């Protein structure tokens, strides 16, 4: 049987696919709004506190071929979710982020821990990293930080600044968003591009990567209901009063209170992340 696709595209093959265009198209259709540096500046303290206790950290660190003499570049480091524990395991870490607030939170926590082998650089993916005298590192990491207009350019940067390994932690499907929350406020949910775009972009660049999937618990612990609401509101832009009320009811109907008063919210499906990695070829 001849399909309509074969009639419209009689000789198309994988090599004819432009993943840069597909990436841009998917980004334009996503139903969530990317945050800017000032948004992340405000989020830094709470983001550091919540993520430092997440099982995500150990799940990622266990995948890295760490050696004590290694240097690590953490591009899109945030408040040091990975940079801080990594600094205890390697010679030095360079934490690069476009949010100065995130880097300030990292520096404050590093001082508390007595960690002095982390260099911070306030820069974005679009900046010229050479102006910061950034050298090659044994491992380059981009963890949950590749929501960028030009994916291929960012992956090329990571590859160029590595002399050993590259690790990218990328979204799978709706992660890190809660699809049920969008349904509760009656807003459409389109996830935008996830890890499969990254894998195929790498393939088109001649880089053959490995993919490991990590699963996080379906329950997330918040200090209280207010903190949970703040975290969920972060997923949206411009919620009105009715939407906020619907969102709070959604959280209440999918949460329980722990003995110490914390709010434990359960998602219908647990967050899943893809760890994409490759060894730099000579």
Q: How many residues does the chain have?
A: 282
If you write DSSP's letter for every residue of 141-182 in order, what string do you get? EEES----S-HHHHHHHHHHTEEEEEEEEEE-TTTTS-HHHH
Q: Residue holding tokens 């690790």? A: 167
CA distance 185 to 248: 10
Direct distance between the N- and C-terminal alpha carbons of the chain, in angstroms, rounded to an integer: 47
pTM: 0.89
Bridge partners (DSSP) of residue 220 are 265
- Residue (of 69, 74, 75, 76) closest to 84 by Cα position: 74
- Residue (of 55, 95, 63, 60) closest to 79 by Cα position: 95
pLDDT of residue 237: 82
Half-sphere exposure of 168 (CA within 13 A, CB side): 30
Q: Which two tokens stand for residue 17?
A: 């696919």
Three state DSSP letters for 229-253: HHHHHCCCCCCCHHHHHHHHHHHHH
pLDDT of residue 135: 95
- Residue (of 69, 104, 68, 106) closest to 84 by Cα position: 106
Q: Where are the domains of the chain?
A: 15-218+269-279, 219-266
What CATH number does the domain located at 15-218+269-279 have? 3.40.50.150
Cβ count near 206 (within 10 Å): 7
pLDDT by 10s per residue, the chain, length 282: 555 555 555 678 888 889 999 999 998 888 766 666 666 556 656 666 666 678 999 999 999 999 999 999 999 999 999 999 999 999 999 999 999 999 999 999 999 999 999 999 999 999 999 999 999 999 999 999 999 999 999 999 999 999 999 999 999 998 988 989 999 999 988 888 999 999 999 999 999 999 999 999 999 988 899 999 988 988 888 899 999 999 999 999 999 999 898 999 998 888 999 999 999 876
């Amino acid at each position: 049987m001849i399909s309509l696709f074969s009639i419209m595209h009689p000789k198309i093959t994988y090599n004819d696919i432009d993943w840069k265009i597909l990436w841009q198209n998917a980004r334009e259709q996503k139903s969530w709004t990317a945050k800017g540096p000032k948004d992340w500046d405000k989020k830094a303290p709470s983001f550091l506190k919540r993520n430092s206790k997440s099982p995500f950290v150990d799940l990622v660190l266990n995948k890295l071929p760490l050696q004590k003499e290694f240097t690590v570049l953490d591009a899109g480091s945030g408040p040091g979710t990975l940079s801080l524990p990594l600094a205890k395991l390697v010679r030095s870490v360079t934490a690069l982020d476009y949010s100065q607030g995130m880097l300030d939170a990292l520096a404050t926590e590093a001082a508390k821990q007595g960690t002095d082998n982390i260099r911070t650089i306030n820069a974005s993916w679009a900046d010229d990293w050479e102006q910061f005298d950034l050298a090659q590192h044994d491992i380059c990491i981009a963890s949950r930080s590749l929501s960028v207009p030009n994916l291929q350019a960012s992956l090329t940067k990571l590859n160029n600044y590595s002399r050993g390994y590259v690790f990218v932690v990328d979204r799978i499907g709706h992660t890190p968003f809660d699809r049920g929350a969008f349904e509760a406020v009656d807003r459409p949910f389109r996830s935008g591009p996830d890890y499969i775009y990254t894998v195929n972009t790498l393939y088109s660049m001649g880089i053959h990567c490995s993919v490991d999937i990590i699963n996080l618990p379906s329950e997330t612990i918040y200090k209280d209901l207010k903190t949970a609401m703040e975290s969920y509101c972060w997923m949206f832009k411009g919620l009105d009063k009715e939407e906020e009320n619907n969102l709070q009811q959604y959280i209440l109907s999918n949460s329980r209170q722990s003995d110490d008063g914390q709010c434990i919210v359960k998602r219908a499906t647990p967050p899943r992340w893809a760890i994409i990695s490759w060894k730099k070829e000579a």
